[in-house]
Structure 1
Amino acid sequence: MKDHLARYSTRFALSGLGQLMLALTSALLLLVTVVLGLHVGSWLAGGALAWFVFVWYLLPLRSRVRTRR
């Protein structure tokens, strides 16, 4: 039961991080678009989204792959 619980808690945590990432990026897009315009807002929100994906998903995935070898 412990393995099952750990697997599902990891999935829920990753899902929560994904939703938080989308909420933060959407809020940034809204604020910057109102202040600086759509072009700047879309670039900054895209950069923030790329940073979140890199730091929250790709770096841990890379670390997990390295530790399995």
Structure 2
Amino acid sequence: MDTDRQGARDARRNETETERADRRWQEVIQEIRVAQTGVQILLGFLLTVVFTPLFQGLSQTDKTIYIVTVVLGSLATGALIGPVSFHRIVSGRRIKPHAVVWAARLTFVGIVLLLATLTSALLLILRVATDDTYVPWLVAGVLAWYLLCWFVLPLWVRARYTSQE
């Protein structure tokens, strides 16, 4: 990074590139804290299911859904913890703007994997707890809600209110 560019202040926020990277890093870490806690609690509960007597009575389809759910939860956990490890490894190398970009990408992947984990877990729980005929409709409805809250609404707001300057 060029020293002149590091020292140049962004007119909109009156911050240097380094200050902007620091701010953006803090924002990413706050986002990760929310998602990471949820996925870790969910994964912790999922990991205990296999050790319960009820698990052996599940159909092969439900056991497969369970395995897929645990793998998705593990992948989501990895993606959401990844930025912390990433930061630790590259810390002090003066590449924070690049680290922030990669942390944001890992966080987005983690959120997508969390979406898949929650959907899969809901499918499994509803298949075990209720009549199978309406389970796909319930899961599809909840998935649509997640998609609306997590992606559609933010993308709409971004497109609607982002200035062209």
Shared fold (TM-score, shorter chain, > 0.5): yes
Runs of 4+ in 1 over 4 A off after TM superposition: none
Question: Which range moves more in the overlay, 34-43 or 53-62?
Answer: 34-43
What is the TM-score of this pair, normalised by structure 2?
A: 0.38
1:13-43 deviation per Cα after TM superposition (whole angstroms, max 9, x unaligned) = 1111111111111111111111212222111
1:8 Cα deviation after fit = 2.5
Name stretches of at least 5 consecutive residues in structure 1 with no aligned partner. Answer: none
Structure 1 residue 35 corresponds to structure 2 residue 35:
no
Name stretches of at least 5 consecutive residues in structure 2 with no aligned partner. Answer: 1-94
Structure 1 residue 23 corresponds to structure 2 residue 150:
no
1:67 Cα deviation after fit = 2.2
- Contact 1:25-1:45 within 8 A present in 2 as well: yes
CA spacing shift, 1:5–1:62, aligned 2, 3 Å: farther
In angstroms, what is the RMSD of aligned CA positions? 1.5
Q: Which residue number corresponds to residue 56 of structure 1?
A: 150
- Contact 1:30-1:41 within 8 A present in 2 as well: no
Report the Cα distance in structure 2 between the residues aligned to 1:23 and 1:9, rounded to whole angstroms: 20
Higher Cα Rg, which structure? 2
Q: How much identity, in percent, do the aligned residues show?
A: 35
Structure 1 residue 11 corresponds to structure 2 residue 105:
yes
Report the Cα distance in structure 1 between the residues aligned to 2:160 and 2:145, rounded to whole angstroms: 21
1:44 Cα deviation after fit = 1.1
1:6 Cα deviation after fit = 3.3
